[in-house]
Chains A and B, each alone.
Chain A
């Protein structure tokens, strides 16, 4: 990817920082005085990757805009765990209205700022997969179509987690949720379901679309910075493992993200005006099992009768590797 290349100094680009790095080479997160836009004391579960990704995204956006940033948040885990009345864990100006309308609220803020001649103040909207892919899709699509000057960030934990782990339209096939139990001949979420919001966003041919994970901080910061340097509608899709909904260990949120990318299950890409412009290559190829096995929602794939489902995951990873050339020509 076109991220900052960090010279090999004991660790390379993949660690957060490093004592031998020049200040200019450091990630936002490695600074002792980083903004910490989402403060400690929030009520996210232990090991919540959404909380982590939200701080990474917001801190980078705050730095990129010199603090002139307004945030609209959809209903969802992120909104619930950060703003239990009367407290807020947010430092930037932040507003929550409804589940479906974060993109529309952000559009309104951007238009209003523009009308006041305050184009220096930037707008970011964010939500989970429920607020983006399901309930808020119409507003998001409208914002894209009008090319409103908003960066929309979706933190995709693949389900309605804070309400009790119900299926969303971003829940992948085979995953067990409260509404797709692992019973019967086709346990878990039905095959063939689960939208690709990245492809939907690309189809709108907006200026910038990207995906990222919490397994690569530098890549994520680079994408937020790139997005903030562009005017118009932008979309960032971040995969955020959910220990509660996925049935994984709280310590595994980063290693699962890594496995998702290294197995080919989650392509990390960049696109401009609908054209794919960059793809993060697989660095150390992992089997899909490395991603699936630690998650209790896929436990049935590793029991008798689970072979078909497992095979489909392998096929999905292979298809992604082919489609996005994730191995970069390597065998």
Chain B
């Protein structure tokens, strides 16, 4: 409807003038401004995904799936893999956890990843050729991520992998019941399709030779060597490294472990080893861990799944001796600082095999004799901003470099290394990662988000799980994935709910149309602050008016 028609003029005006002539904006002491803040999910995502954006595309249903997937692969080329194995720190940070339950981001990522594989979506075409050649050493998540992001920038990329198959720990460390190999293979093939060459069975022995052949080198050799502890053991004792068992199983050589298996350690590898032992026929799989549940480094869901499959955990215990099928365990207690110490009380445990899962180290034999690449605390020292080692043109990322040893962190650092290599090759300075303002939970008005519980992925019956290496978690269907995506509250970013527009007592907000959001008419806005208070997602700030 238009504004008032012009009043009739009969010499004198008889019709009323309109209030539009009066600019109430002059009353304002504070003005509302739209802001775009960083959501906690993305801030917590080590891979650097713009989670809010791709959930936003998914919300539109079928029409938005491909766009959503493309928003994921802008950062992470392995959505179907990460939709399965990521420990999703995004969900732990999700503000929705304070309303009902966090958004099942990981499940939606997997849905999009699986959909992309099923429909054969290709990764973005690489940019114009730079004429530069980069070697990536190792094909784990860090290496694949670095290779993909380097290729996108137009560089020629070769990945050299010592093992027979690409994938690193994703291939040889994570059991198939968590990550089916066809999924991994499909996502690796897709990276190769962009022109990345992956050479397997090609161990890089000399850094100097690599540098002679390539313009830059990225070391992503991982941490695939088991850490050892000294345990007195009799001749008949069978002690193996958990990581070796996982690797053997992944290579199709399932070892004989016996009916009773003890796993020493409390990390995710220990959980994988115990669950794998159950699948290999062990009736009793006991995790021996020297601290308490609260201190356990394994992800809580990993522990839950293991326990759900009949794995037992012996808390506050260390293995002091292994003699044949008998393991001697010392009970521990925590001292005032929360550190475990021996109590002098011992007990015995029957175990045909002891699997050691007490940490992993990087295989840095490549750096033997290399003096200008520093190794500190068992990992390659790098500049925290550029990830460049002490040697010009040599970069490092992933488990062999400092930081969290997770696939998602490795993907993020791989991407960062790619950006750093690209900048270095062009003699540009790599800009620092921006510090973003977070959309904290206190900015939200949760009232507007109707209660909508998380669409839990159906889990296979625990009884069925231990019979084989079938995938434990099933995926969401399209309907549930869309529903789950719609549970996203879009923290700190306008999603066009119309609250500001509809609730302005002064009719001082203009709606600009789909995707265009709104505009405040400061000629009339009195600065009451209702729009900011009732914005569900905290996308409006009130700032002092300066005249």
A contacts, CB < 8 Å to B: 8-20, 27, 29-33, 35-36, 38-44, 46-49, 51-52, 55, 62, 67, 82-84, 86-89, 91, 214, 217, 243, 249-255, 258, 284
Stretch at the interface among B106-114, B198-206, B461-469, B506-514: B506-514
27 A-B pairs in the complex with CB atoms less than 8 angstroms apart: A12-B450, A14-B448, A15-B536, A17-B502, A19-B496, A19-B497, A19-B515, A30-B511, A32-B510, A41-B18, A41-B24, A41-B524, A42-B506, A43-B22, A46-B529, A47-B530, A55-B505, A84-B22, A87-B17, A88-B16, A88-B19, A89-B19, A251-B529, A251-B532, A253-B528, A254-B534, A258-B447
The reply on B177 being an interface residue by CB < 8 A is no
Judge whether B1 is part of the interface by a CB distance below 8 angstroms. Answer: yes
B449 near A: Cβ within 8 Å?
A: yes
Question: Please, how many angstroms separate the alpha-carbon atoms of A234 and B506 in the complex?
Answer: 27
Query: Are A87's CB and B16's CB within 8 A?
Result: yes
Partner of B498, one of A30, A253, A284: A30
Query: Are A249 and B450 in contact, CB atoms less than 8 angstroms apart?
Result: no
Q: Is the CB of B19 within 8 A of A8?
A: no
Contact of B524 among A10, A40, A88 (CB under 8 A): A40
Q: Binary interface profile of B, 461-502, with partner A (CB < 8 Å = 1, else 0)?
A: 000000000000000000000010011111000011111011
- By a CB distance below 8 angstroms, the chain A residues around B10 are none
A35 to chain B: which residues have CB within 8 Å?
1
- Nearest residue (CB) in A for B521 is A40
Tell me, rounded to whole Å, the shortest Cβ–Cβ distance linking B447 to chain A.
6
Q: Is the CB of B4 within 8 A of A19?
A: no
B526 proximal to A (CB < 8 A): yes
**B20 touching A41, Cβ below 8 Å:** yes
Task: List B residues at the A interface (Cβ < 8 Å).
Answer: 1, 3-4, 13, 16-24, 27, 59-60, 447-450, 452, 483, 486-490, 495-499, 501-508, 510-515, 521, 523-524, 526-530, 532-534, 536, 542
Q: How far is the CA of A18 from the CA of B56 in the complex (A)?
A: 13
> Judging by beta carbons under 8 Å apart, are A16 and B501 in contact?
yes
9 closest Cβ contacts across the A-B interface? A17-B498, A16-B502, A251-B529, A12-B450, A41-B19, A29-B502, A47-B528, A89-B19, A40-B524
Chain B residues in 8 Å Cβ range of A16:
497-499, 501-503
Chain A nearest CB, measured from B488 CB (Å) = 7
Are B497 and A18 interface neighbours, CB within 8 A? yes
**If A55-B507, A87-B18 touch, does A15 touch B448 (CB 8 Å cutoff)?**
yes
B197 to chain A, nearest CB (A): 43
Q: Name the B residues within 8 Å of A87 (CB-CB).
A: 16-19, 21-22
Nearest-Cβ distance from residue A259 to partner chain B, whole angstroms = 11
- Provide the bound-state CA to CA distance between A83 and B15, in Å: 12
Given the contacts A86-B17, A250-B530, A39 and B507 also touching, CB distance less than 8 Å: yes
Whether B497 pairs with A10 at a CB distance below 8 angstroms is: yes
A89 touches B1 (CB 8 A): no
Q: CB-CB < 8 A to A83: which residues of B?
A: 16
Contacts of A8 in B (CB 8 A): 450, 452, 483, 486
**Nearest opposing residue in chain A for B512, CB measure:** A32
With CB as the reference atom, state the residue of chain B lying closest to A83: B16
A18 and B60 CA atoms in complex are apart in Å by 12
Contact present for A46 and B19 (CB under 8 Å): no
A52–B503 CB distance below 8 A: yes
Which residue of B has the minimal Cβ distance to A63? B1
Q: Which residues of A contact B505 (CB under 8 A)?
A: 44, 47-49, 51-52, 55, 253
- Which chain A residue shows the least CB distance to B24? A41
- The reply to whether B529 and A10 contact each other, CB–CB distance below 8 Å, is no
Q: Which residue of A lies closest to B3 (CB)?
A: A39
Q: A10-B490, A36-B507 are in contact. List 7 more A-B contacts (CB 8 A).
A: A31-B511, A36-B1, A40-B524, A46-B27, A48-B528, A52-B530, A86-B16
Q: How far is the CB of B390 from chain A (nearest CB, A)?
A: 50
Question: Which single residue of chain A is at the shortest CB-CB distance from B22?
Answer: A41
Q: Are A46 and B527 in contact (CB under 8 A)?
A: yes
Residues of B within 8 A of A11 (CB): 448-450, 497, 536
Name the residue on B nearest A240 (C-beta). Answer: B505
The answer on a CB contact under 8 Å between B502 and A27 is yes
A89 and B16 CA atoms in complex are apart in Å by 9
The distance in angstroms between the C-alpha atoms of A283 and B529, with both chains bound, is 25
If A10-B497, A30-B502, A41-B524 touch, does A255 touch B1 (CB 8 Å cutoff)?
Answer: no
Q: Inside 8 A of B19's CB, which chain A residues have their CB?
A: 39-43, 82, 84, 87-89
Rounded to whole angstroms, the CA-CA distance of A20 and B22 in the bound complex is 36
Nearest CB in chain B: distance from A42 CB, A = 5
- CB A35 to nearest CB in B, in angstroms, measures 5
Contacts of B526 in A (CB 8 A): 46-47, 250
Residues of A within 8 A of B450 (CB): 8, 11-14
Min CB gap A99→B, angstroms: 21
Q: How far is the CB of A240 from chain B (nearest CB, A)?
A: 10
With A and B bound together, what is the CA distance between A30 and B503 in angstroms? 10
State in angstroms the CA–CA spacing of A221 and B510 once bound together. 21
Q: How far is the CB of A221 from chain B (nearest CB, A)?
A: 10
Instruction: Report yes or no: A88 in contact with B495, Cβ–Cβ below 8 A.
Output: no
**For the complex, what is the distance from the CA of A13 to the CA of B483, rounded to whole Å?**
16
B530 engages A251 (CB within 8 Å) = yes
Please measure, in the bound complex, the distance between the C-alpha atom of A81 and the C-alpha atom of B526, giving whole angstroms: 14
Least CB separation from A50: chain B residue: B505
Q: Is the CB of A251 within 8 A of B486?
A: no
| Complex: chain A residue closest to B2, CB-CB | A91
- Candidate in B513, B521, B524 with the most chain A CB atoms within 10 angstroms: B524
Tell me how far the C-beta of B533 lies from the nearest C-beta in chain A, rounded to whole angstroms: 4
Cβ-closest chain A residue relative to B507: A40
Choose from A17, A29, A62, A91 the contact partner of B496 (Cβ within 8 Å): A17
Q: Which residues of A contact B532 (CB under 8 A)?
A: 251
Do B529 and A249 have beta carbons less than 8 Å apart? yes
What is the bound-complex CA distance between A88 and B511, given in angstroms? 24
Q: Min CB distance, B144 to chain A, in Å?
A: 34
Q: Which residues of B contact A251 (CB under 8 A)?
A: 528-530, 532-533, 542
